[in-house]
Structure 1
Amino acid sequence: MNLGEKLKHFREQKNMSREELAQKMNVSRQAVYKWETNKGYPDIDNLIQLSNLFEITIDELIKGDSLFQKKITIDDQKKSKDHFSDPGFYLGILLLVIGGIFLEDGALADALTILGLLTIVFYDDFKKLFWGIIRDFKEEKYK
């Protein structure tokens, strides 16, 4: 049984509709549909939430779905290769160079150096935070 079939089975076992599951998961009904039809896969946070909701382990959810397991492996390989293609890396290096070389010692140089290091390390988190705020703002605006 693949992940989609298992999700549908456990959802129906709890007598939940896709809409109800989507509301509990804070995702769209279409996302649940895609998961159940194997047109998309939940991310790790949603897998954890699903396992808690259905009172099963993540292993029980994904075991037997070799396609999903291959996707996880491919995604991990992509993540490990993407460090140098990440614009945050280059932005951080630029800030380090400006702060460390072009500016004389002082508060601004120190601030740019620290900002550069933080940008290199946390660029993806800043990006997710920014787009999350934008998404929340749009959701509130159109309620």
Structure 2
Amino acid sequence: MFDFIFGVPAHPLYVHLAVVALPVAAALAAAVAVSNRLRRRLGAPAVALSAVALVGTQLAKSSGEALLRLAGASEHHPGKAATHAMLGEYSVYSALALFIALTVTVLLAARSSTPAALALAARVGTVGIAITSVVLVVWAGHAGAHLTWERMPNLAG
């Protein structure tokens, strides 16, 4: 399931879902966390997008592991892809944390009995996780691009 899509390795295709959905979900999560108006209007769509980002990062990770096996490596012995694989795994964890934190933030905001300090802690945590998620997915993407393009001849001249 994760090896090929229409004869093309699935990993580069799934990666595009992760590198688009996670930063957009993180930006929307941060906006929802800091704005009461946006939280009321966009809370549910933001949670849904964070779920898509979580699925996208997991698909990218799983297809990357399949690509490692095709290259003669493994999840436990990724060789030159070790940094990329580690960051990809951390991206999945951060996407999961973002989904949970944002869901908690939106649910707490919907309850009138939520203590203000708890709601604030959830919002601050959501923003922190959103920032971390973007950093991790960009770093993972950079490491993957470096692996891909380091094999190319010098195109600069």
- TM-score > 0.5 by shorter chain: no
Give TM-score scaled by structure 2 length.
Answer: 0.29
Q: TM-score w.r.t. structure 1 length?
A: 0.31
- The higher relative CO (CA closer than 8 Å, separation ≥ 6) is in 2
